[in-house]
Structure 1
Amino acid sequence: MSEVGTLCPNSFQWKIPNFLNLNVNQGAFITSPPFTLISKEGIQKTFYLSLYPKGNREPSWVGLYLSPVDSLKSCTVSWNMSILDKDEKQFINVTAKNRIFSECSGWGFKKFIEIQTLKSQEETILPDGTLTVFFESEGVKDKSKDPTMCLIDDLEKFSFNDEFSDIEIHCKDIKIKAHKVILGSRSSVFKAMFTNSCKESQTGCVNIDNMEPEVLKDLITFIYSGKLKKLEDNAADLFVAAHMYMIESLTDMCTTFMMNNLTNESALSYLNLADRYNCKILKEEAMDYIVQNIADFTERPELKNVSQDLVIEIMKGVVKQNNI
């Protein structure tokens, strides 16, 4: 029976006995008893930890995530998670900063610690077979009272707003009023348009024909607020748009989303995309996913769109995995 013990406010230990012999499959998880995080203002929110003993999408790694028990009004949490060894010293430590929780979303680490590390150092890390996870946090922060979030919310009000606008963006059948100072501060491509002798600076109009209107709307929303509502609808298209307009923070957000949402249907297209834009971390994740599930990909029609070089890389990965 696992248990959570409170050490001090916003600090907890989760003890999991007989860890290496837990009867769970890859992709299955266990959850901690719920615990409470308290803000400086005394606001209390209840969370729990989810742990994948045999890995989630990474079968050789233990995964560990933090999730709210109930649907939340948006709040942020920063925390550290570690494993305590037999001397109660931190063996491994991972940190997350200012993660935004809304609804019942969760955040965490699919590569928390390698399973082989636990096995090879069982005597030190798993005394009496028990894994001890140590969690500590500064507590929750209400986004609505955070000065930075208030600034973001105020700027967001100017997106798709005619007030004080000084540039118009045309994309197929839509027109969007915008503000040069905001576009230029967030994108070096837009900045170049507005500061050099480009026609956009002279006409006050930007024509974008190589993007779907809905993607452009999401791009503008992100430029003004740093937020996106439904990334799952067009992560790949926004990834391309982010590269096109050199918005690194959006590139990172799309990359993280695609890495965390690899499926048999998406992996090959994400691999192609990563290779085309030289995104090494996404390419590695997509390649690993395909290699580990190669039997599901040999007959997929998308395979014909993969370059010969990538197919060779996939085959080399399969050979290496099977030690052929």
Structure 2
Amino acid sequence: MEKINVGGQAVIEGVMMRAPRSVAIAVRRPNGEIVVKKELVVPLSERYPIVKLPIIRGAVALIQSLVIGIKALNFSANEAMTEEEKQGEKEKEELSSWAMAGTMAVAFGFGIGLFFVLPLYATKWLTQLSLISDNNIAFNLVDGIIRVVVFLIYIWSISRMSDIKRVFQYHGAEHKSIFAYEAGEELTVDNVRRYSRLHPRCGTSFLLIVMLVSIAVFSLIPKLWPFYLKAGSRVVLLPLIAGISYEFLKWSAKHDNHPLVRMIITPGLALQRLTTGEPDDSQLEVAIRSLDEALEVNAGYADDRLVV
């Protein structure tokens, strides 16, 4: 089979894998059974050619990833429940479109507040105390440093949680499976286990790149703007920042053997040591099943049904 670009996401007790035309979610139920949900997906670029343009495709990819990711988490949360936890529920239901939109809005708002508004407010406070210069370059540099520090503290904090540790192990399983596929290996547990859990195209690296790119982009905002305009501009400019970061990530993934590129992507790979864990064989099995199913659907050999 011709090699294609694949990506993924760890979910609760499972892995979501995405190929250009398919999505598959594999989750291990409490009884040890693996359940898979898979579907054929028509790329937006086929319906809207503008989506293929650089920068724009990155912003669209971010939105798509959020939507698909939340759906995958919802599915995995339902399937990972024990029978006792399911008792009392009339039936399991997928999130409605309105509930999905609300969940995304809350998550998006939390992220904006924590990683963009809070650092901006903290930098303004430091300026008022004359602890830093109100020079535009200095202001945005300190703002960016605080943003990165908040991000690192957040990642470190959630990595200490036991439930998140298991998700991060599935994250490692996802990376190992993709590495084995890209190397042309047969997708078996023994083969996949040998590969690294750190991948240059990881979403963790993407988020770190976003933090760094935002420093440069926000430096273009006039320092005389009032606080509310500066805060609002951070929301408005996010698609541009995501688009630039996406292009850099794709470029670095294609040239990851170059010494300069390896030096640039090293911080992102180092951060993945927090967001990935070494998976056990049962977790590798789930990641392999998800990738196999996504590739099969992408090739047109399966339909969009729930496989139990």
The bucket for the TM-score relative to the shorter chain is under 0.3
> Greater helix share, 1 or 2?
2
Per chain length, whose mean CA-contact separation is higher, i.e. which structure has more relative contact order (CA < 8 Å, sep 6+)?
2
The alignment's TM-score, normalised by the length of structure 2, stands at: 0.25
Radius of gyration: which is bigger?
1
